[in-house]
Amino acid sequence: QKEVEQDPGPLSVPEGAIVSLNCTYSNSAFQYFMWYRQYSRKGPELLMYTYSSGNKEDGRFTAQVDKSSKYISLFIRDSQPSDSATYLCAMKETSGSRLTFGEGTQLTVNP
Amino acid sequence: DGGITQSPKYLFRKEGQNVTLSCEQNLNHDAMYWYRQDPGQGLRLIYYSQIVNDFQKGDIAEGYSVSREKKESFPLTVTSAQKNPTAFYLCASSVPGLAGHEQYFGPGTRLTVT
């Protein structure tokens, strides 16, 4: 069983829709929870991160962490065609610098 | 401009040949990483280095080798022992330890071995 599970999609939504992306994990030592965005044929870039449990909002993006359920989510409001990309969740323990990635969800927002 | 550069963008090799992928950063980061990305597999860690002259194996190190002689550079050699070398290779760097959640990635090298 993988430490981090992520539905690979693909996910296709109309412009303006609310998008929900999710990951589950099994390692209770994970304390940092990240979402990376990767455009086609490019390297990933950090979109948001959350330390421990709770919510974090940045513009149209909201990240949620539920450590009791070992479940994290990324919500995108008013989705735009420019949001079309692969979204990767990643997690890290407090010590060390290794990240464990989910396999990524491919999102297409149709105009 | 600060960032990570990887070269070349596309690389083609014949089976049985070793090939070295370049990764350079000018972010003054101590930690550097090599990942491999395959469809349906996400990013898998090959090797990482938290300081010059030191590196550790990741989850899929077999058939790969690295060196870290300079802070700015972390080249990856794909040897002929790697059974499935065709993939998209990503290099990243970060501040080590607690702030290591933010990794900065290069543009990647797509390696095709025939």
Q: Which of A33, A97, A98 would best serve as a mutation to test chain B binding (most B beta carbons within 10 A)?
A: A97
The first and second tokens of residue B46, run together, are 């090959």
B104-105/A19-25 β-pairing: unpaired
**CA atoms A50, A51, A53, A55: torsion sign:** negative
Q: What average pLDDT does range A51-60 have in this prediction?
A: 91
- The secondary structure of A16-43 as a DSSP string is T--EEEEEEE--TTEEEEEEEEE-TTS-
Q: What average pLDDT does range A47-63 have in this prediction?
A: 92
Question: Is A88 in the B-facing interface, judged by CB distances under 8 Å?
Answer: yes
| Record: contact A97-B94, CB cut-off 8 A | yes
Given this model, what pLDDT does residue B71 score?
Answer: 96
Given this model, what pLDDT does residue B98 score?
Answer: 57
Which among B97, B98, B105 is the nearest to A45, CB-wise?
B105
Chain B CA closest to residue A39 = B107
Q: What average pLDDT does range B8-16 have in this prediction?
A: 92
pLDDT at A90 over 70: yes
Given this model, what pLDDT does residue B100 score?
Answer: 66
Tell me which residue of B77, B85, B62 sits closest to B14, measured CA to CA: B85
Q: What average pLDDT does range A26-36 have in this prediction?
A: 94
pLDDT tens digits along B33-78: 999 999 877 899 999 999 999 999 999 999 999 999 999 999 999 9
Given this model, what pLDDT does residue A41 score?
Answer: 86
Given this model, what pLDDT does residue B96 score?
Answer: 66
Question: Is B63 in the A-facing interface, judged by CB distances under 8 Å?
Answer: no
Pairwise CA distance, residues A47 & A55, whole Å: 14
CB A75 within 8 A of CB A59: no
Chain B CA closest to residue A103 = B42
